[in-house]
């Protein structure tokens, strides 16, 4: 019985691993943190596999954990490194992903997560608020400030998507 469950989990990882790593990569901005984040979330999923498989959608479970985990990691790390400076040379890296991608690295993590959920995951502000456990108003203000910093003109004003 237990063996069957483990196989199930491994099937899931094999089928969805690449997509989760992509999501982790846009959340964190680099390959190492992306792999760490996905593995952490998968570890949690593994522990809850039977319940999640029966009741929820494993993929959305894992993605929710990744979004939350990324914000809380950031909180912890920021306390450790009081000056959370943009690494030197971040602007001289190769230009493959464009200026916008590099500027995303200068955003506070929470703002970045909100943008990724909104523009990569294409979620509504209500869904983002549920995932991150913050109010819809906070989602909107985070998005507003992030877009402002990136000089992205919101098509819908700061009231955000519905």
Beta-carbon contacts of residue 106 (< 8 Å; ≥ 6 apart): 86, 90, 149
**Which residue, 55 or 81, is less far from other proteins as judged by CB?**
81
Q: Is 11 in the site for other proteins (CB under 8 A)?
A: no
Q: Is 145 in the site for other proteins (CB under 8 A)?
A: yes
CA separation for the pair 110, 139 (Å, rounded): 9
Q: Is 22 in the site for other proteins (CB under 8 A)?
A: yes
CA separation for the pair 139, 130 (Å, rounded): 10
Q: Which of these, 34, 38, 64, 40, lies nearest to 52 by C-alpha position?
A: 64
Residues near other proteins (CB under 8 A)? 10, 13-14, 17-18, 20-26, 31-32, 34-35, 38-40, 42-43, 46, 78, 82-86, 91-92, 95-101, 103-104, 106-108, 110-111, 115-116, 119-120, 138, 141-142, 144-155, 158
């Amino acid at each position: 019985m237990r063996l069957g469950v483990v196989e199930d989990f491994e099937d899931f990882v094999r089928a969805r691993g690449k997509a989760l790593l992509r999501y982790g990569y846009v959340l964190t901005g680099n390959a190492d943190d992306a792999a760490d984040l996905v593995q952490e979330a998968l570890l949690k999923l593994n522990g809850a596999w039977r319940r999640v498989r029966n009741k929820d959608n494993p993929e959305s479970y894992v993605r929710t954990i990744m979004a939350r985990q990324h914000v809380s990691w950031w909180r912890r790390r920021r306390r450790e490194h009081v000056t959370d400076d943009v690494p030197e040379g971040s602007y001289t890296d190769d230009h493959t992903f464009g200026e916008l991608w590099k500027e995303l690295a200068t955003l506070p993590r929470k703002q970045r997560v909100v943008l990724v959920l909104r523009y990569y995951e294409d979620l509504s502000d209500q869904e983002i608020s549920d995932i991150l456990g913050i109010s819809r108003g906070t989602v909107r203000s985070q998005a507003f400030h992030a877009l402002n910093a990136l000089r992205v003109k919101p098509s819908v004003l700061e009231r955000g998507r519905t």
